[in-house]
Amino acid sequence: MLVAMVVIWAYGCNLVSLLAARNIPQSIQNLKDLVDTNIKILLRPSTAISAYLEQRAEFGAFEDRLVHIGVSEYVPTLEDIRRGTHVHITIEIVCNKLMSQDFSKSGRCDFYQSRDAFIANPMSMVVQQGSPLLPAINHR
């Protein structure tokens, strides 16, 4: 009787945890995970990130999946992201703002950020050729 009660209790707890927690069927944590799917990629045009991904698209990694959107289209595309048909690649501060605004509005946390950074640092410095600063910049 004790064994049966423990098995039933464990089954009941497992069932409750499966039904209570949201299941994200496909977690995208790095760029390779994104390449292996057919999910559309939302990003702003004329940025370092879009130039990097467009270059990868030329090699067939993201065939016809890059969708350029403006800042005013960020919030309306959250429903596409929520459904799992799109992802948004942008800088971390924008992601944090969008997720916090959606959480404040809906009271639910439906989004996540990947653990890996797709591009380590899209910033760069430009100086004139022959500048005395050039060796110091190149060293770092």
| CATH number assigned to the domain comprising residue 107 | 3.40.190
CA 139 to chain CA centroid, Å, is 31
Q: Is the residue at 60 inside a domain?
A: yes
If one counts the domains in the chain, the total is 1
Q: Is the residue at 49 inside a domain?
A: yes
Cα–Cα distance for residue pair 107/105, rounded to 1 Å: 6
Q: Is the residue at 123 inside a domain?
A: no
* 34: pLDDT strictly greater than 60: yes
What pLDDT, on a 0 to 100 scale, did the predictor assign at position 27?
76
* pTM, two decimal places: 0.64
* 22: pLDDT strictly greater than 80: no
**Mean pLDDT along residues 18-23:** 64
Q: Is the residue at 133 inside a domain?
A: no
What pLDDT, on a 0 to 100 scale, did the predictor assign at position 23?
59
Q: Domain range for residue 104?
A: 26-114
Q: pLDDT digits over 81-110, tens only?
A: 888 899 998 888 888 899 999 999 999 888
The region that residue 127 occupies, defined by phi over 0 for left and psi between -120 and 50 for alpha, beta otherwise, is: beta
Sequence length of the chain is 140
